[in-house]
Amino acid sequence: MDLVNHLEGRLLFAVPKKGRLSQASLNLLEGADIQFKRENRLDIALVKNLPIALIFLPAADIPTFVGEGRVDLGITGYDQVQEHDAGVRAVAHARRLSNAGERDGSTKPQGCDTVMELGFGYCRLQVQVPANGPYTEGKDLIGKNIATSFVHLTQEYFARLELEQQGVTDTTQLAGRKLRTKIIELGGSVEAACALGVADGIVDLVESGETMKAAGLKAIDMVLETSALLIKSKAPSNPELVELIANRIRGVITAQKYVLCQYNVPRTKLHDATKITPGKRAATVTTLDEEGWVAVSAMVEKKNIAVVMDELVKVGATDVLVLDIHNTR
Ligand SMILES: Nc1ncnc2c1ncn2[C@@H]1O[C@H](COP(=O)(O)OP(=O)(O)OP(=O)(O)O)[C@@H](O)[C@H]1O
Ligand SMILES: O=P(O)(O)OC[C@H]1O[C@H](OP(=O)(O)OP(=O)(O)O)[C@H](O)[C@@H]1O
């Protein structure tokens, strides 16, 4: 089937085609009951049960497609959105210098809106240098060679440092400035650049720190913290469908974040117990057949559940059960 000719009338939803955000994104789509079959090697899949087409793209390109309004919705990292926006600022700066925007009457790119954080893909974009080397802070790298895949953010980072070094206090216009520091763009394996003599420092993502450690590097500054986002274009083709998908995804995320805690407790201890498990809105309390006892159920954040159980038992709760939540709305 010629998929491209079947896109008419469908909401276009960009999903990372590979890499760190890919599997978690597919899990979210499954949880939101967005059903599709992706043919081998095809980067477009029609959703069977909703008027949506999924477009599988590199995470780095998704802010461009969504920002220019070519695609309605997308999943990507906050870092990628910021890098894209920094690139847009650099282009705008160059156009201002040449007055090109005024001459051809072109309008600014639209940009994208964040719908929600998705709760995965947590990492930090850091400035890293050889662990045994002489550099201890970002400004030590001014005038040096810096390798990165995030050229625009790195450019702005060093523009700020260079301006600060010159005593310039207004550092609001950072994009597109001519730098003393040389930014070298690499597509991946950036951590190898220092050992191979290509760079004095790098700007790269760190999650566990394993890659950095294995490459003999240490972090000396942080450019930004990032996690995965659901983003939408400024003018999506079907805002109601965007809202429906957002609500479904929100439900899946909440379900992943919470467990349902149920227990029995003497009514005299109910106040203490519900202080420990206040629930999302309020705990559900039901009278038990046994005189003086109630049953309570409440959503509790998964990460706190062990401590919550300890405290419940301390105030006299019994039969404490913890259940997974598959979905919520
Ligand atoms: N180690 C990590 N831990 C968590 N999230 C990460 C990590 N590395 C990258 N990410 C997130 O995933 C996004 C995509 O990075 P990833 O390197 O997986 O992309 P990719 O599309 O496979 O690109 P490349 O081909 O350059 O590796 C990043 O922009 C960031 O938001
Ligand atoms: O702190 P860690 O948990 O070790 O993760 C950090 C690594 O993960 C990312 O790279 P990825 O493995 O996606 O490959 P890439 O270098 O080719 O982009 C990032 O660029 C680091 O190299």
pLDDT tens-digit readout, 159-172 = 999 999 988 888 77
Q: Which domain holds residue 208?
A: 123-226
With H, G, I as helix, E, B as strand and everything else as coil, classify residue 148: strand
Residue pLDDT, tens place only, 20-38:
999 999 999 999 999 999 8
Is residue 35 located within the same domain as residue 79?
yes
How many Å lie between the centroid of ligand 2 and the Cα of residue 175?
26
The per-residue pLDDT for 304 is: 96
The per-residue pLDDT for 41 is: 79
Stretch among 95-109, 154-168, 222-236, 313-327 having the lowest mean pLDDT: 95-109
Q: Atom 25, ligand 1: which residue's CA is nearest?
A: 188
Calculate what percentage of the chain has a pLDDT beyond 90. 80
The per-residue pLDDT for 175 is: 80
Distance between CA atoms of residues 121 and 111, nearest Å: 22
Ligand 1 pocket, 82 CB below 6 A?
no
pTM of the model: 0.89
The CATH number of the domain holding residue 31 is 3.40.190.10
Is residue 7 located within the same domain as residue 113?
yes
Q: Where are the extended beta strands (E) located within 89-200?
A: 112-117, 123-130, 145-148, 182-185
Is residue 174 located within the same domain as residue 85?
no
Is residue 129 located within the same domain as residue 213?
yes
Flag whether pLDDT at 313 surpasses 60: yes
What value does the mean pLDDT take over residues 219-236? 97
Ligand 1 pocket, 239 CB below 6 A?
no
| 32 touches 250 (CB < 8 A) | no
Stretch among 105-109, 177-181, 243-247 having the lowest mean pLDDT: 105-109
Handedness of CA 5, 245, 65, 60 (dihedral sign): negative
Q: Provide the domain count of the chain.
A: 3
Is residue 171 located within the same domain as residue 216?
yes
Of the candidates 32, 84, 83, 29, the one whose C-alpha atom is nearest the C-alpha of residue 56 is 29
Buried (b) or exposed (e) across 169-185, using 16+ Cβ within 10 A?
A: eeeeebbbbebebebee
Is residue 116 located within the same domain as residue 232?
yes
The per-residue pLDDT for 183 is: 97
The per-residue pLDDT for 176 is: 77
Comparison of pLDDT for 198 and 3, the residue scoring more: 198
Residue pLDDT, tens place only, 62-107:
999 999 999 999 999 999 999 999 999 998 888 877 776 555 555 5
Is residue 19 located within the same domain as residue 150?
no
Buried (b) or exposed (e) across 227-238, using 16+ Cβ within 10 A?
A: ebbbbbbeebbb
Q: What is the ipTM of this complex?
A: 0.96
Which domain-ending residue is among 186, 210, 226? 226
How many Å lie between the centroid of ligand 2 and the Cα of residue 211?
6
Ligand 1 pocket, 209 CB below 6 A?
no
Is residue 74 located within the same domain as residue 104?
yes
Tell which phi-psi region holds residue 119, choosing left (phi > 0), alpha (psi between -120 and 50) or beta. left
Is residue 65 located within the same domain as residue 82?
yes
Whether 329 maps to a domain, the answer reads: no
